[in-house]
Amino acid sequence: MSRGSGKGLSLKDKLDGNELDLSLCDLNEVPVRELAALPKATILDLSCNNLISLPSDFCSLMHLVKLDLSKNRLQQLPLDFGRLVNLQHLDLLNNRLVTLPVSFAQLKNLKWLDLKDNPLDPVLAKVAGDCLDEKQCKQAAVKVLQHMKAIQSEQDRQRQRKLQAEREMEKKREAEQRAKEAQERELRKREKAEEKERRRREYDAQKAAKQEMEKKTKKETVHTRKPASSSRPPQPPRHKPSWSRSVLRVLLFVLFCILCTLAACKLTELQHQPLCISVNTLYEDVVAALQNHKTLQNMLQHNS
């Protein structure tokens, strides 16, 4: 095993029964794989090295019963350090530890603990005590375990409270979501009912307008249509004879009679009858009067 990494030198050469002494080897890393291959080494001494941290797989060495990490430069322990459930003796003297992982509370078999000469948190330092003798180191193990269990319980309660708060918040969000969805459903239902009512009113209005139009059309058809039994074409209206037409007809008839009489008295043998003689004489007098009247008009026009 070479100095610094612990590789290259067989650990079996340092194994004495169930004790493995790797102190004063100037180690910067812990040879975890080699240690895991030696389950008989239940007592491990890694004191007086240059260890700054322990790898996470170090916690797989669950066969360890006694562990000496004193006089290194450890600033923290792995978070799952509590997996070393068989550990009974732990020496962390003269390191740079401030706190311990919460999983430390799982070291239920721990009987001896030394945390002297570490820049511990004041509360933890008071709980751990001085560990100046065997009795104080045993008391330190008991008190630190109790302290870490209390911290673990408090963290568990905090997690439970946080989880409960998250659940309540989730329930509240779900309730709000359900209320929102119910409100949206109610709104859609109301809008649908309003739309249905609007369409019903439009339908009724259209139906009423159609009926009114049919009534109007039927009424106009009744007023303009002749009875169905009469198939003859319409005849022009007959005008009643007026009084002026009657008079005109009488005058025309009288004039016709006069002309007929005059023609008979002029052109037939009746012209020598006394009545025709009178008619002819009257005719000649009228013609002479008309000629005189025409001569007078010409003279007047000429003088003017």
Q: What is the pLDDT of residues 265-292, one digit of tens each?
A: 777 766 677 777 787 788 788 778 777 7
Domain end (from 116, 133, 152):
152
Q: Transcribe 227-259 into DSSP letters.
A: PTT--SPPPPPPPPPPHHHHHHHHHHHHHHHHH
Task: Give the integer Cα–Cα distance in Å for 142 and 127.
Answer: 10
Indicate whether 147 and 275 sit together in one domain. no
Residue 259 falls inside a structural domain:
no
Number of domains, the chain: 2
Domain with 295 in it: 267-303
114 class by beta-carbon count within 10 Å (0-12 exposed, 13-18 middle, 19+ buried):
buried
Residue 126 pLDDT level (bands cut at 50, 70, 90): very high
Strands (E), 145-245: none
Residue 186 falls inside a structural domain:
no
Residue 56 falls inside a structural domain:
yes
Task: Flag whether pLDDT at 261 surpasses 80.
Answer: no
Task: Flag whether pLDDT at 119 surpasses 50.
Answer: yes
Domain end (from 113, 136, 152):
152
Indicate whether 143 and 274 sit together in one domain. no
Domain end (from 152, 167, 183):
152
